[in-house]
Structure 1
Amino acid sequence: MVDVLDENIAVAEGIIVSDDDATGKLRRLVEQQMNSYGQNYPFVHVYIQEDMTQLQLDATSWGKEMARKTKRFETLVLDTLQQGVDEGTLRGEVPVQLMAKSLFGMVKWTHRWLKPGMRNVDAKQTTEAFCALFLEGARTKT
């Protein structure tokens, strides 16, 4: 899992520094997470279903490292959401922290029902649905 998180963070950092607007970056971040889930199943499945609050309380070096890496990824998403608010493409009346929790909730809950190769819905379809639902709801009305 350490290698998977390292790879996810590296890809996310590349997305964040791209010239895309915030919604484009968010779409790519969701796509990256769903693809990683599909490629690294069932290991990511087991990791996600662990209680993340317990991970933060884990005093081992592994637990601290995993918590730090998870926090780094979350910060990248929060910064992207804030970029969207600042550039006027995402709603400012919804706190960025709440938007992040909503997005993470959708993505992380997939471990309960998305089983690569076993269902009629795949990572690509899930990415499209999540982005449509989240980004249309979070986008400012023009």
Structure 2
Amino acid sequence: MTAVADEMGVDRASLYYYVSSKEALFDDVVRAAVDRNYEIAQQIEQSALAPRAKLRDLVMLLMASYGEHYPLFYIFIRENMSDAGHQRAQWSKDMRRVNRKTTDMVIAIIEEGYADGSFRNVGPSDIVAYGVLGVLGWTHRWYRPDQSEASAEQIGRTYAEMIVTGLETPAH
């Protein structure tokens, strides 16, 4: 909290007037970023774009956001949401709800691609969606913006290409 107060040019007491703890500050900042991602993801999923473009855009959005909000998302991804303390129970519940809704959007895009024939039906849409999100989620194990030769945007484009071309039918 001292570093945050110093960065903002205020004293710690002033910061504590607005934020009760470093955990509360973390939760608020992460919630804002996750909510923003969800809103953009919802726009992508509800757009008139083809499933290929939707999935590509969504993968690239999520990876770019990971890079933009690093190390917050690094910590968030590693967080055990079902084991949050009592004071963070509502936050944890809210984050699990948004994560579930995001997963549902990926499932819907996969199912849309299955329905219009642009994606090969490689398996149940929920398993495919978990795989897509798993690829993104595993990035925290090796990607550090200040150490990686590739940017989050480059990684997102690579992931999107790998995932979409692996799903699409030859005619598309």
TM-score w.r.t. length of structure 2: 0.76
Matches within 5 A, 1:56-67: 56=82, 58=84, 60-67=89-96
Is contact 2:122-2:167 (8 Å) kept?
no
**What number of residue pairs does the alignment pair up?**
139
1:116 has 2:145 as partner: yes
| Identical pairs, percent | 28
Aligned CA RMSD, in angstroms, stands at 1.4
Between 1 and 2, higher relative CO (CA 8 Å, sep ≥ 6) is seen in 1
TM-score w.r.t. length of structure 1: 0.91
How far apart, CA to CA, are the structure 2 residues paired with 1:137 and 1:37? Answer: 23
Which one is further off, 59-68 or 100-109? 59-68
How far apart, CA to CA, are the structure 2 residues paired with 1:121 and 1:87? Answer: 34
Matches within 5 A, 1:83-102: 83-102=112-131
How far apart, CA to CA, are the structure 2 residues paired with 1:23 and 1:103? Answer: 13
- 2:44 paired residue number: 15
Is contact 1:114-1:122 (8 Å) kept?
no
1:32 has 2:24 as partner: no
Deviation of 1:131 (Å):
1.6
Unaligned runs of 5+ in 1: none
Is contact 1:84-1:90 (8 Å) kept?
yes
Deviation of 1:37 (Å):
0.6
Deviation of 1:93 (Å):
4.0
Give the partner amino acid of 2:73: V
Moved over 6 A (4+): none
Partner SS, residue 49 of structure 2 = coil
1:135 has 2:161 as partner: no
Give the partner amino acid of 2:108: D
Give the partner amino acid of 1:83: E
Higher Rg of the two aligned structures: 2
Give the partner amino acid of 2:129: A
1:72 has 2:109 as partner: no
Deviation of 1:57 (Å):
5.5
Is contact 1:116-1:122 (8 Å) kept?
yes
How far apart, CA to CA, are the structure 2 residues paired with 1:92 and 1:56? Answer: 32
Deviation of 1:113 (Å):
1.1
How far apart, CA to CA, are the structure 2 residues paired with 1:101 and 1:64? Answer: 19
